[in-house]
Amino acid sequence: MQISTHELKSKVIESLKLQDITPEQIDDDAPLFGTGLGLDSIDALELVVLLEKDYGIVIKDIEEGRPAFRSVKTLAEFIAAKRPQ
Amino acid sequence: MNKIFIAAASIVTETDLPSARLGQRFGRLDLQSQLALLAVASLQIDFAKFPPDRLGICLVASAGSLTTDLNFWNGRSGVGGPSPTLFAYTLPSAAVGEIAIHFGLTGPDLCFVGDGTELITEAVDLIRSDKVDGCLCICGEVISTEVAKIISGPSAATACALFLTRAALSPDSRELREFDRDIKPLCALLCAAKSAS
Amino acid sequence: MREPIEHGVPVVIAGCGAITAVGRGLEPLRAALQKNLSGLRQSEKFSSPRFQSNIVGAAPRNFDEENPAWQLASAALQQAHESSPKVLESIPAERIGLVLSTTKANIEALERISDNRACSDSARRHLQSNLLAADLAAAHGARGPVQTISVACVSGLIAIQQGTRMIQRGEAEAVLVVGVDCLSEFVVAGFTALKALDPIGCRPFDAKRCGLSPGEAGAAIVLVRGDLMSQPAIAIRGFGSSNDANHLTGPSRDGSGLAQAIQAALAAAKLAPNEIDYVHAHGTATSYNDTMESLALHTVFGEACPPVSGSKGMLGHTLGAAGVVETICCVLAMQENFLPGTPRLSVAAEGTPARLVREPRTGVKLRNVLKLNTGFGGMNGALILSHE
């Protein structure tokens, strides 16, 4: 099932309390961590909470989520693949 | 005894926050860290003039981190559990860490809980014992209405800061006097004098 | 201006007390250190999917009792008093200070209030750590200066530093330093959110380490101006602290901040690195911490690092109490001439100091001991103890 990257971006902005940025300004392929949005390890953990809360996806080991956290696009694909139907 | 100087003083409240942007992730900080960081930024000191390991930070949080503690704990029963970000801020010293990160200050730090009457004495001690050349003193008072009820006190959302140095930084620097022991009235006095002039 | 600051007045440890995962008092702690025992156990209270691990270092107490922070801190102070020679009795109460070290004080009261469970006035009052400190001072005969330190997991070492400075500045002749933090759902849920717990219990410096184990303790040290003691004691020789200014929860990757704190402590103690006989590490068993700590030790000591071990596999991570209780571990080792081991370590990780002590060793004279702690907010602390 496809999920809207626009909606996902809004959720990321809200959950990570990013300021002065709109979903439109986030590129689907831009790296989330390091450069890009400048997210860090605490944000990764906050994204884990978001995935469970909003999409029912439980990540036990943060390493498991790492490839999915590369960009909004990879995150959307990960959610589409893992989301309980 | 060698003199100690007050380079600047500041007071900030919640109403000063909406226009503040201190770093890319300012929005993530808890209220106490935001106010403390803003109070320090409002001093408008060029910390780059000092070696980073020669600057100390002394902070007092009047009610610890209770407001953030309660925010964290209120999220306990949600799906996915409580917020890891909020947990990282359930320490009054989180504000010290954010100030150190933002301004790159690597010297010794102290963080107290209480009324802050020891703060200036301890900052002066760090300077006099030659651990630092300058020391920030910050008093954070963040008490949400919910926490105010629990501890039967007034709510608050404010922070004040002072920067003490061994040498006068500018002609505006004022000498620290014998009776300048309590950070809150001292900041209030200096800020009132500044806005009057 | 202000009180004259007396530098170099020797400050010594007159007595200690501790309630920890290995028992009530110094005897069980000494035995656990000498036999390399672990006090970590499964706990029913934390056996729920809400928690990443149910392995904790629980002190001997009833989880239902109200105001555990008060109970643990009071019991530790009582023991420390009893273990001190008569010197305290000769000092007027106005000249005895108290420094409390805690991160969460009686946070359990917040759980009670949130759940509409019974919560006594004092349990509620001791949510505020400064009021806990004031009440402990009043109950334990300290009418001098009182401070409440909360610098994350470095709090204990900073509290010992503050007590020492109070005496050196002439504000007190003795200071009761008390560290306390209790096991709570709040703290275990928080470390679960950070995915920082080892499901099978922490393994400091081990190749397979993957997180910490939460613990609780009340620990107290009586600091006294050296000239008031009639017998030789262990002295606070020097301390140093620093901030990584790097990240809120993660330590600096290269250990430079901790190395800076160790170097400051060595300079304050007027000691060369090769005069340190033993290092008691922070050793939380998180991947980042232990690597960072090993790098910091390498920066300061090079290939000649003294023996190193850590006690969190025995006591768990007791947060605000850690610096105080681990300093007591050092005092016991110095008094009884042994090197404590590192409980729950099986295979040392690559890059850990070559002289990591796995099993305790007896007959080792420890003159100068270095105690380290680091904490959230990038804080680093180093304390050096010496035989007078």
The average pLDDT across C250-255 equals 86
For chain A, list the domains and their CATH numbers: 5-82 (1.10.1200.10)
Residue with tokens 């801190």: C73
Q: Kindly state the tokens that stand for C311.
A: 């006690």
- Domain with residue B77: its CATH number is 3.40.47.10
At C7 the pLDDT is 54
At B194 the pLDDT is 85
Residues 6+ apart with CB under 8 A from A15: A46, A47, A49, A50
At B189 the pLDDT is 94
CATH hierarchy code of domain C11-228: 3.40.47.10
At C2 the pLDDT is 36
pLDDT at C1 over 60: no
Collapsed DSSP state (helix, strand, coil) of residue C152: helix
The average pLDDT across C74-91 equals 94
- Whether C16 is catalytic: no
- What's the first-to-final CA gap in chain B, in angstroms? 31
The average pLDDT across B134-151 equals 97
User: Using one digit for the tens of pLDDT, what is the confidence trace for C190-227?
Assistant: 999 999 999 999 999 999 999 999 999 999 999 999 99
Mean pLDDT (chain C) is 95
Q: Determine the Cα–Cα distance for residues C297 and C282; give it in Å rounded to an integer.
A: 12
Closest CA to B111 of C297, C41, C99: C99
Beta strands of C129-287 (E only): which ranges? Answer: 146-149, 174-181, 217-225, 234-243, 278-280
Quickly count: other Cβ atoms within 10 Å of residue A3's Cβ: 16
Max mean pLDDT among B164-173, C82-91, C366-375 falls in C366-375
Choose the mutation target among B17, B26, B28, B79 for the interface with A, i.e. most A CBs under 10 Å: B28
β-pairing, C217-225 with C338-339? Answer: unpaired
DSSP string, chain B: ----EEEEEEEEEGGGSTT---STTGGGS-HHHHHHHHHHHTT---GGGS-GGGEEEEEEETTTTHHHHHHHHHTTTSTT-S-HHHHHTSSTTHHHHHHHHHHT--S-EEEEESS-TTHHHHHHHHHHTTS-SEEEEEEEEEE-HHHHHHHTS--EEEEEEEEEESS--STT-EE--TT---HHHHHHHHHHHHHH-
Residue B45, phi-psi category: left (phi > 0), alpha (psi -120 to 50), beta (remainder): beta
Domain count, chain B: 1
At C247 the pLDDT is 87
At C3 the pLDDT is 38
ipTM of the complex: 0.96
Partner-chain contact C193 B106, CB within 8 Å: no
Q: Determine the Cα–Cα distance for residues C297 and C259; give it in Å rounded to an integer.
A: 7
At A1 the pLDDT is 60
Q: pLDDT-based confidence at C380, cuts 50/70/90?
A: very high
B10 and B191 Cβ atoms separated by less than 8 Å? yes
The average pLDDT across C1-14 equals 66
Catalytic residue, chosen from C81, C140, C280, C317, is: C317
Choose the mutation target among A46, A48, A59 for the interface with B, i.e. most B CBs under 10 Å: A46
Residues C89, C94, C99: CA angle, nearest 5 degrees: 90
pLDDT at B33 over 90: yes
Quickly count: other Cβ atoms within 10 Å of residue C272's Cβ: 9
Q: pLDDT-based confidence at A84, cuts 50/70/90?
A: confident
Percent of chain C with pLDDT over 90: 92
Residue with tokens 């209790």: C182
B123 and B164 Cβ atoms separated by less than 8 Å? yes
The average pLDDT across C331-341 equals 98
The average pLDDT across B118-131 equals 96
Collapsed DSSP state (helix, strand, coil) of residue C240: strand
- Whether C182 is catalytic: no
B110 and B58 Cβ atoms separated by less than 8 Å? yes
Residues 6+ apart with CB under 8 A from C248: A42, B88, B94, B97, B98, B101, C376, C377, C378
At A34 the pLDDT is 77
Q: Environment class of residue C170 by beta-carbon count within 10 Å: exposed (0-12), middle (13-18) or buried (19+)?
A: middle
Per mean pLDDT, which range of B178-182, C56-60, C363-367 is the poorest? Answer: B178-182
Collapsed DSSP state (helix, strand, coil) of residue C258: helix
Range(s) of the domain holding residue B177: 5-196
Q: What are the residues of chain A with a beta carbon less than 8 Å away from any beta carbon of chain B? A: 16-20, 38, 42-43, 45-46, 48-53, 56
C292 and C254 Cβ atoms separated by less than 8 Å? yes
Strand partners, C380: C242, C374
pLDDT at C5 over 70: no
User: Using one digit for the tens of pLDDT, what is the confidence trace for C129-144?
Assistant: 999 999 999 999 999 9
Mean pLDDT (chain A) is 88
Catalytic residue, chosen from C202, C280, C282, C329, is: C282
Q: Determine the Cα–Cα distance for residues C104 and C266; give it in Å rounded to an integer.
A: 31
Q: Determine the Cα–Cα distance for residues B13 and B36; give it in Å rounded to an integer.
A: 10
Q: Determine the Cα–Cα distance for residues C130 and C116; give it in Å rounded to an integer.
A: 24
Mean pLDDT (chain B) is 95
R_g of chain B computed on alpha carbons: 17
C172 and C6 Cβ atoms separated by less than 8 Å? no
β-pairing, B55-61 with B134-143? Answer: parallel
Q: pLDDT-based confidence at C4, cuts 50/70/90?
A: very low
CATH hierarchy code of domain C236-387: 3.40.47.10
The average pLDDT across C262-280 equals 97
At C261 the pLDDT is 97
User: Using one digit for the tens of pLDDT, what is the confidence trace for C275-319?
Assistant: 999 999 999 999 899 999 999 999 999 999 999 999 999 999 999
- Residue C73 has phi, psi (to 5 degrees) of -65, -40
Catalytic residue, chosen from C119, C153, C182, C329, is: C153
Strand partners, C20: C23
Side-chain-side CA neighbours of C319 within 13 Å: the count stands at 27
Partner-chain contact A18 B27, CB within 8 Å: yes
Residues C163, C164, C166: CA angle, nearest 5 degrees: 65
The average pLDDT across C22-37 equals 98
Residue type for B147, please?
V
- So where are chain C's domains? 11-228, 236-387
Q: Kindly state the tokens that stand for C247.
A: 């990240």
* Chain A residues whose beta carbon lies within 8 Å of the beta carbon of residue C196: none
Residue type for C357, please?
V
At A79 the pLDDT is 92
Residues 6+ apart with CB under 8 A from C281: C204, C205, C290, C293, C297, C308, C309, C310, C372
CA A42 to chain centre: 13
At A85 the pLDDT is 63
pLDDT at B160 over 90: yes
B112 and B60 Cβ atoms separated by less than 8 Å? yes
Q: Determine the Cα–Cα distance for residues C13 and C388; give it in Å rounded to an integer.
A: 10
A38 closest CB neighbour out of B24, B81, B83: B24
Check CB contact of C272 with chain B, cutoff 8 Å: no
* Chain C residues whose beta carbon lies within 8 Å of the beta carbon of residue A48: 195
